[in-house]
Amino acid sequence: MNNNDLQQRGHRVYPNLALNIITRQEHSVSRQLISENALKVLYRLHGAGYEAYLVGGGVRDLMLGGTPKDFDVATNATPEQIRQLFRNCRLIGRRFRLAHIMFGRDIIEVATFRGHHQEQNTQLSVQSDQGMLLRDNVYGTKDEDAERRDFTINAMYYNIADYSIHDYAGGVEDLEDRLVRLIGDPKTRYREDPVRMLRAIRFAVKLDFDIEEDTAEPIERLAYLLSDIPAARLYEESLKMLQSGYGLETYHLMREYNVFEQLFPVISEHFTPDYSSNTEHILDLSLDSTDIRVEENKRINPAFMFAAILWYPMIERANKLVEETNINFYDAVMEASNQVLDRVVKRIAIPRRHTATIREIWQLQLRLPRRNGKRAFRLMELNKFRAGFDFLKMRGEVEGGEIKELALWWDTFQSAGRNMRQAMVNDLNQASTQKPRARRRKPANKKKSKTES
C-alpha cells in the first residue's frame, strides 16, 4: 500500500525520520545520572537478547543537564515477554499495553516499540471518526516507534548496549534552539490525541521553551477536541499542568491558547478581558501559592486548589438560588456546591475523597465567622481547620474588608495562649450583647369604623 492509498483511506502518513547516532564521546549523559533501578531493567532486557533504550523525557532532561523525575524504557520485547523476565512486573493499560517494573515505590515503565496502525484491527488498533486513537496495541520497530512519538525532544533513545544516543527527529537541535516541535502534521497528531496540546504547553513552560510556530498554530482551533478525552485522564493531566511547580505560568499560557476553558468551563464563565474578577484573582493566588509550596518541597493537596478556584463560581450560583427559590444562604451554598461539583466532575473526574474535602473547606467558610462561646475552640480542633483558615486568608487578600479582618482575628487567635484566646472570645461575647437589638413594632390599633360602633 503506497502513501496515496493511505491518504485515501484516512491514515496518517508518518514522516521519514533521519537517524543521527551520537556516540558516548559526543554527549554528556552519564550512567551515574540514571536511576539504579532503570539500569537494572535496561541491563536485564539487554542481557536476555532484547533491544533496550532509555527514552523520552528522561533522555531529554539528562541532555539538558537536569535530573529526570521518571525513567522510561522502550524495548522490542512484548509485554508478556517482559513479565517473564521480571517477577516484580505488572501489566497495565488498555489504550496501549505497558509494563510497570516495581521497586518498592519506584516504578520503571517499560513500553514495547509501537508500530503503525495502517490496517484497522479492533483487537489492536481503533480510531474514532475524528482520528483519535482509542486503542493502540500495535507493536513495531524502533524506527517506527520514533515516528510515533509526539515531540522531537522526546524522540531520543539512550542505547544501553553502547551508551550512544539515537536522535531521530532533530531533537538535539531543537533542545539547543529551545523549541517544542511536534513530529509530523500537527493537526493530525492533535486529532490522534488531543492531550498533546496540553503537553506542548506544559513542556514549553516547564523547560522555558517556545512552541514552534506550526505546532502552536492549530491549538486554539482544535482545543474543543479535549472535550472528548475521558474525564479521569483530564483530571490527571490537570494536576500535571497546575500542580507541578509552574502552575501559574501554565494557566496563563493555557488561557492564551483557549485550552483552560475546555477543562474548566465552570470557571471560564467568570473570566474577564482584564483578568479583574475575584475568580481570576484567586486563581493567581492559589496557583502561585502551590508553586511556592512545590519549590519548598511542602505537601500539596489538590482539594485545596480546587476549593479555591471553584469558590466564587459556587458562591455566585448560591446567590442566584437565594434569589430564585428564597431559601436561606446556608442551604443555597449546600445545593450550589452539589451543582458546581457535579458539572466539574463530568469534565474532570475529581476523586470523591477530594470533593468531600472541598465541601469541608467551603462549609468552614460559613462557620469561621461564628466564634462566640466555645465555638472558636471547637473549630480549631477540626481536621480541616488549617485548610479552611488558609483559604479564608486567601479570600481576605481578594475581598479585603470583613473577610480580611476575620482572617487576622483567627491568625492572632491561633498563635495566642489559652488566656489570651479566652479574652478574645470574651470581647466578642461582650460586643454581641452590647449591639442594640432592633425593636419590634407593635401592630397599630385599627380605629373602629362607625359601622362597628
**Residue ranges of the domains in the chain?**
16-177
446 vs 199 pLDDT, higher one: 199
pLDDT, mean of residues 386-409: 97
pLDDT, mean of residues 414-424: 93
pLDDT tens figures, 104-128: 999 999 999 998 755 444 344 445 4
pLDDT, mean of residues 411-415: 94
How far apart are alpha carbons 234 and 198 in whole angstroms?
Answer: 10
Q: Do the Cβ atoms of 273 and 291 come closer than 8 Å? A: no
Res 102 pLDDT > 60: yes
pLDDT tens figures, 272-326: 999 999 999 999 999 999 999 999 999 999 999 999 999 999 999 999 999 999 8
Q: What percent of the chain has pLDDT over 90?
A: 81
CA angle 387, 302, 257 (to 5 degrees): 130
pLDDT tens figures, 340-385: 999 999 999 999 999 999 999 999 999 999 999 899 999 999 999 9
User: For 16-177, which CATH class?
Assistant: alpha beta
Beta-sheet strand order (sheet of 156-159): 20-22, 165-167, 156-159, 52-55, 72-75, 106-112, 98-103, 89-92
Res 197 pLDDT > 80: yes
Cell match 513479565: residue?
Answer: 83
439 vs 176 pLDDT, higher one: 176
Res 133 pLDDT > 50: no
Query: CA nearest 131: which of 141, 120, 145, 139?
Result: 120
- Please report the pLDDT score of residue 434 as a whole number: 62
- Please report the pLDDT score of residue 435 as a whole number: 57
Q: Do the Cβ atoms of 72 and 56 come closer than 8 Å? A: yes
Query: How far is the first Cα of the chain from the last one, in angstroms, to the nearest whole number?
Result: 109
- Please report the pLDDT score of residue 15 as a whole number: 64
Res 442 pLDDT > 80: no
Cell match 473526574: residue?
Answer: 349
The catalytic residue positions are 70, 72, 150
- Using H for helix, E for strand and C for coil, what is the string for the chain? CCHHHHHHCCCCCCCCCCCEEECHHHCCCCHHHCCHHHHHHHHHHHHCCCCEEEECHHHHHHHCCCCCCCCEEEECCCHHHHHHHCCCEEEECCCCCEEEEEECCEEEEEEECECCCCCCECCCEEECCCCCEEEECCECCHHHHHHHCCEHHHCEEEECCCCCEEECCCHHHHHHHCEECECCCHHHHHHHCCHHHHHHHHHHHHHCCEECHHHHCCHHHHHHHHHHCCHHHHHHHHHHHHCCCCHHHHHHHHHHCCCHHHHCHHHHCCCCCCCCCHHHHHHHHHHHHHHHHHHCCCCCCHHHHHHHHHHHHHHHHHHHHHHHHCCCHHHHHHHHHHHHHHHHHHHCCCCHHHHHHHHHHHHHHHHCCCCCCCHHHHHHCCCCHHHHHHHHHHHHHHHCHHHHHHHHHHHHHHHCCHHHHHHHHHHHHHHHHHCCCCCCCCCCCCCCCCCCC
Cell match 512552541: residue?
Answer: 211
- Please report the pLDDT score of residue 32 as a whole number: 92
316: number of Cβ within 10 Å: 16
Res 174 pLDDT > 60: yes
Please tell me the pTM assigned to this model: 0.84
pLDDT, mean of residues 49-62: 95
Query: CA nearest 305: which of 265, 336, 350?
Result: 350
- Please report the pLDDT score of residue 129 as a whole number: 52
